[in-house]
């Protein structure tokens, strides 16, 4: 058993090339997300990702499903078929290989979500 308290670990400002439009902070809780190590004891990656107002990911794909659970604020998710406003308690499942983006976007609100993928999932940014 491993317990991670709120005071444990770091929330770091993300500077990965996948983010655009504003400030993003990532706190990896399990696996590795955004270059951060959250622990090697899990079969999945789990992180809290905080998007400042206007910030979002660029279009990208994952080699596994990605699950998002909104814990604060108002955000958006989008793909080739359109975009959806998401808020606290909303849950999104993105199939493997689906080109998509997510974040606070143009909602005027910051947004935080849990992001979950398989540990061996690969991410490819498809937008310059």
Domain ranges of the chain: 12-125
Is 3.40.50.620 the CATH classification of the domain at 12-125?
no
Q: Determine the Cα–Cα distance for residues 86 and 102; give it in Å rounded to an integer.
A: 10
pLDDT of residue 77: 97
* pLDDT value of residue 16: 77
Per-residue confidence (pLDDT) for residue 9, from 0 to 100: 66
pLDDT at position 24: 94
pLDDT at position 40:
62
Running along the chain, 128 residues long, what does each successive block of 10 average in pLDDT?
71 78 88 58 85 95 96 96 96 97 93 94 88
φ and ψ of 47, to 5 deg:
-145, 155
Q: What pLDDT score does 1 carry?
A: 74
């Amino acid at each position: 058993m491993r317990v991670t308290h709120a005071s444990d670990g770091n929330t770091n400002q993300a500077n990965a090339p996948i983010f655009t439009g504003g400030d993003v902070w990532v706190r990896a809780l399990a696996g590795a997300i955004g270059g951060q190590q959250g622990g090697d004891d899990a079969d999945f990656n789990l992180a809290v990702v905080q998007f400042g107002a206007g910030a979002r990911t660029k279009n990208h794909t994952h080699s596994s499903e990605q699950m998002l659970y909104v814990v604060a604020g108002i955000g958006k998710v989008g793909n080739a078929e359109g975009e959806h406003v998401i808020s606290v308690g909303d849950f999104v499942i993105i199939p493997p290989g689906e080109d998509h983006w997510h974040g606070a976007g143009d909602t005027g609100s910051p947004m935080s979500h849990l992001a979950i993928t398989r540990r061996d999932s690969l991410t490819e940014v498809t937008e310059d």
